[in-house]
Amino acid sequence: TFLLSWVWGLVAAAPFLIALIALRVVGLIDPQYLRRIRFARRRLWLSL
């Protein structure tokens, strides 16, 4: 059961890891893109 829970933890964490890696890759390719995302997120946060 311990191994199974570990596997489930990996499965749950996988999408977040993939998203982080993708963001890092995009940031390396286009630094302006990350700044744009941060700016848009702040604007959304302020509009709420």
pLDDT digits (tens, 9 = 90+) for 1-48: 788 888 898 899 999 999 999 888 887 888 788 788 889 999 989 988
The per-residue pLDDT for 18 is: 92
Classify residue 34 as exposed, middle or buried by CB count within 10 Å of its CB (0-12, 13-18, 19+).
Answer: middle
* H or E segment and range at residue 15: helix 2-29
| Distance, CA of 25 to CA of 2 (rounded, Å) | 34
Alpha-carbon separation of residue 23 from 10, 26, 31 (angstroms): 19, 5, 10
The per-residue pLDDT for 14 is: 92
